[in-house]
Amino acid sequence: MKKYFINGINSIYKTHIFLIIIALILGLFFRVVNIDKKVYWNDEADTLLRLSVHEYTEIFQQFFNDKIITVKEIQQTYQNVNSERTLIDMFDSLSKDAHPPLYFILSRWWFQIFSPWMTPITTIRSFSVFISLLVFPAVYWLCLELFNSAFVSAIALAIVAVSPIHVLYAQEARMYSLWTLLIVLSSAALLRAMRLNNKSNWIIYSLTLTVNFYTYLFSALVTLGQGIYVIILEKFRLSKRLLSYLAACLLGCLLYVPWLLVLFANYNNFKTITSWVEGGQSGLFFLLTTIFNNISNSFIDFWFVYSYFPNLNLPNIRFGLFIKPLLFLMIAYSIYFLCRHTEKRTWLFILTLIGTTPLLLLLKDITGNSGVTTQARYLIPCYLGLQLSLAYLLSYIPINPWQNRLWRVMTIFLLSGGILSISLSSQANTWANKYHNNSHEVAHVINQSSNSLVISDTHPAIVLSLAHYLKPTVSLELLKSSQSPQIPSNKQTIFLFNPSQQLRENIKKLNTFQVRRVKGIRNLWILQ
């Protein structure tokens, strides 16, 4: 390898270090800047509902009854942490929907400590920011276990720091930053346990598995990938390491059994709340295209700028779409380079991290007519593996001058693309991870009208998201989908927000109003 690469500190090495430092500083900055600017969307409203230890059945019973209520009523009850409800109450509430409890418990403690100094949204999002910062030392540790190189570790830190997917979820009140941290920690713990093969490190690994399971159900897929790695590395023999691994997995699973029993007991509820992924587009070409797009967007995604800043006059930025093929060439070559120049224990681990989760989810989508792989957040293990692969590629500095220039260009290309992406998304009200939630726009239109009424039969979490931006004077009339609204005569402006087809038909049957869609807003109608 020496004939290909320069050792020691030289001008090129110093350039890399400079870029790494800049990336880390900007990655930290864009995790905290404008933390409250992104739209507070329905998944985050769901988080705050869980922290308040309330359930959707309560909202339906209290408010979805054709009665006119105020925005303040629904906000005060279901978007504030109720100190009278205990941790036991939270366990009971979460168990009914089979939500893994760890993230919500930690978030509730964080909220109770810091909410006196911050707004509710900033408080719950700041927990994700804090967790995302812990990912940095965890990634550094993982790279040391994999490559035994501080330089590779530093480049991996820089890539993760400016990765759009990690920055976006660092500012979202959901469990994805915590899941990212735990994936990295369990991976590093496994590699350390495999290397030292002693009891204490296997126990640590088993505990990381348990914490993963109590955070996110898809952690089982990551664990399966780790199992495949150990079995292949041990050549399918019941070696001491494999037996230790199996014992650690057994311990981790046994510690998860209490919540697993809860999951089975409430399986029907769990199936209902996850039914939204069923019946999605399952064409193989569509699914693969979506996966590739999500992978490229985890490194660079500034081409979304036209979706969220439609008035910008920056025609050249459209050429970002042509960057995707170059990015995939880099990714493909990094995997080849990794497999050729590292030990089996290294490249096999990264390949299983990259491939296990998307392949299993893709298999489910193809056979079960679902659309799980279209959700970018479910592929976080894959993104981490690819980021490690690219970090290894970029850490090598060839002796050949033209190769040196090429490596430097690739490093600048990847890091500057990420920096441009996170800087643009930081100024937007929404981005791709919010799935085109437009509560800002809807509320802006409604708030301009006086004495207005909003009628809706949409999901309560979507109502809670919108209610955050509405004036306290706005009234709400929430309905079950089969109900017809009772429209009062004393309201000057009446809106339909995200109505079902049934609700629109029920209103048309009244023969009292014309239903007109508000221009430029896909889910808001006005009655005239």
Is pLDDT of 395 > 70? yes
Residue pair 526/516 in contact by the 8 Å Cβ criterion = yes
Q: Which residue has the higher pLDDT, 399 or 294?
A: 294
- What is the pLDDT averaged over residues 9-26? 80
Instruction: Identify the pLDDT of residue 403.
Output: 80
Q: Considering Cα of 473, then 474, then 475, then 476, what sign does the dihedral take?
A: negative
Residue pair 42/439 in contact by the 8 Å Cβ criterion = no
- What is the pLDDT averaged over residues 402-430? 89
The confidence band for 4, taking pLDDT boundaries of 50, 70 and 90, is very low
The confidence band for 33, taking pLDDT boundaries of 50, 70 and 90, is very high
Residue pair 418/164 in contact by the 8 Å Cβ criterion = yes
Q: How far separated are the first and last CA of the chain, in Å rounded?
A: 75
Q: Considering Cα of 280, then 283, then 289, then 295, what sign does the dihedral take?
A: positive
Is pLDDT of 2 > 50? no
- Stretch among 43-52, 357-366, 509-518 having the lowest mean pLDDT: 509-518
DSSP annotation of 8: S
List CB contacts of 7: < 8 A, sequence separation 6 or more: none
Pairing of strands 515-517, 493-497: unpaired
Query: Whole-angstrom Cα distance, residue 444 to residue 436?
Result: 16
Is pLDDT of 317 > 70? no
- What is the pLDDT averaged over residues 158-182? 97
Angle between helix axes 42-51 and 102-114 (nearest 10 degrees) is 80
The confidence band for 8, taking pLDDT boundaries of 50, 70 and 90, is very low
Query: Whole-angstrom Cα distance, residue 435 to residue 375?
Result: 10
Q: Could you state, in order of their start, the residue ranges of all structural domains in the chain?
A: 199-268, 439-527
Instruction: Identify the pLDDT of residue 276.
Output: 60
Instruction: Identify the pLDDT of residue 371.
Output: 81
Residue 503: strand, helix, or coil: helix
Going by C-alpha positions, the residue among 358, 375, 293, 302 that lies closest to residue 328 is 293
Element (H, E) at 41: none
The confidence band for 472, taking pLDDT boundaries of 50, 70 and 90, is confident
Burial of 117 (0-12, 13-18, 19+ CB in 10 A): exposed
For residue range 228-240, what is the model confidence (pLDDT) as tens digits?
Answer: 999 999 999 999 9
Q: Could you give the C-alpha distances from 290 to 283, 304, 361, 370, 388, in angstroms and in order?
A: 11, 15, 13, 13, 22
CATH code linked to domain 439-527: 3.40.1010
Distance of CA 213 to the CA centre of its chain: 17
List CB contacts of 416: < 8 A, sequence separation 6 or more: none
Going by C-alpha positions, the residue among 58, 65, 45 that lies closest to residue 477 is 65
Is pLDDT of 7 > 50? no
Query: Whole-angstrom Cα distance, residue 48 to residue 124?
Result: 8
Going by C-alpha positions, the residue among 73, 59, 69 that lies closest to residue 453 is 69
- Stretch among 134-148, 157-171, 451-465, 498-512 having the lowest mean pLDDT: 498-512
Query: Whole-angstrom Cα distance, residue 527 to residue 491?
Result: 11
Residue 524: strand, helix, or coil: strand
DSSP annotation of 286: H
Going by C-alpha positions, the residue among 283, 486, 297 that lies closest to residue 370 is 283
- Stretch among 14-23, 385-394, 440-449, 451-460 having the lowest mean pLDDT: 14-23
CB atoms within 10 A of CB 148: 10
Is pLDDT of 248 > 80? yes
Q: Which residue has the higher pLDDT, 157 or 432?
A: 157
DSSP 323-376: HHHHHHHHHHHHHHHHHHHS-HHHHHHHHHHHHHHHHHHHHHHHHHTB-GGG-G
Is pLDDT of 6 > 50? no
The confidence band for 165, taking pLDDT boundaries of 50, 70 and 90, is very high
Q: What percent of the chain has pLDDT over 90?
A: 56
Is pLDDT of 274 > 70? no
For residue range 73-113, what is the model confidence (pLDDT) as tens digits?
Answer: 888 778 877 777 888 888 888 888 778 999 999 999 999 99
DSSP 412-457: HHHHHHHHHHHHHHTTSS--GGGTT--HHHHHHHHHTSSSEEEEE-
Is pLDDT of 160 > 50? yes
